[in-house]
Amino acid sequence: SLGQCQSTIVKSLEIYQRPLADFQVADNCIDSTFTFDNQTLYFGTDVAYNWDFGNGQQSQLFNPEISFTAAQTYAIRLIATSD
C-alpha cells in the first residue's frame, strides 16, 4: 500500500470580551461645564474612547469636560473600542 501524507496544525485563538460603553452626566445650565463620568465596563487593558457631543465637539478623553452654548437636547455618543 502507498504511504499517506498528512499535515495538522493547531493554533490558539484568544477571544476578548466586548466593552460595554456607559456614562453619566448631570443636567446643568447653558454655558456651564459638564463633566462626563465614563462608566464603561471592560476587563482588559487597552480601550479607546471616542465621544461625540452632538454639537461638533468631540473628545478621546476618559472623562471629558464640555460646555454647551445653546439650550437644546443633544444626542451624546460614546464609542468604546478595545484593542
Residue with cell 448631570: 26
**What does the pLDDT read at residue 48?**
94
CA distance 36 to 18: 21
**What does the pLDDT read at residue 14?**
83
E-strand spans in the chain?
23-24, 33-35, 37-38, 47-52, 58-59, 65-67, 77-82
Average pLDDT over residues 58-83: 94
pLDDT band at 59 (very low <50, low <70, confident <90, very high): very high
- pLDDT for residue 1 is more than 70: no
